[in-house]
Amino acid sequence: GENVEQHPSTLSVQEGDSAVIKCTYSDSASNYFPWYKQELGKRPQLIIDIRSNVGEKKDQRIAVTLNKTAKHFSLHITETQPEDSAVYFCAASFGGSQGNLIFGKGTKLSVKP
């Protein structure tokens, strides 16, 4: 079945450094790849997404890249701040709907001041 693998499971960086989280997916038909940030006890919040017809997308300090051939996509956060500390999930769509998502297991990002 469909699968999304996410690495690393934990990531610790100093404030101001960059953080990179990588994901791979198995379903060639996936065409939508969102990233969610989840703080402790709160709902997952969509922070950026990318569709299969785009290779890269940037929103201020956050960027996502997609390599459809290799079935890889990555999240890049530059100039990290303590408030970036959270669990980040990548996901890939299936079944032709952006509401049907297979999630990775998450990356716990800690940004040390």
Question: Which of 45, 55, 56, 58 is close enough to bind other proteins by CB under 8 A?
Answer: 45
Q: How far apart are CA 100 and CA 1, in angstroms?
A: 14
- If binding is defined by CB under 8 A, does position 43 make contact with other proteins? yes
Question: Which of 25, 33, 36, 73 is close enough to bind other proteins by CB under 8 A?
Answer: 36
Total residues in contact with other proteins, by rule CB under 8 A: 24
- If binding is defined by CB under 8 A, does position 8 make contact with other proteins? no
CB atoms under 10 Å from CB of 72, counted, come to 14
- If binding is defined by CB under 8 A, does position 73 make contact with other proteins? no
Question: Which of 75, 102, 109, 111 is close enough to bind other proteins by CB under 8 A?
Answer: 102
Q: Cβ(101)–Cβ(110) under 8 Å?
A: no
The residues of the shown chain that bind other proteins, judged by CB under 8 A, are: 1, 6, 34, 36, 42-46, 49, 89, 91, 95-106
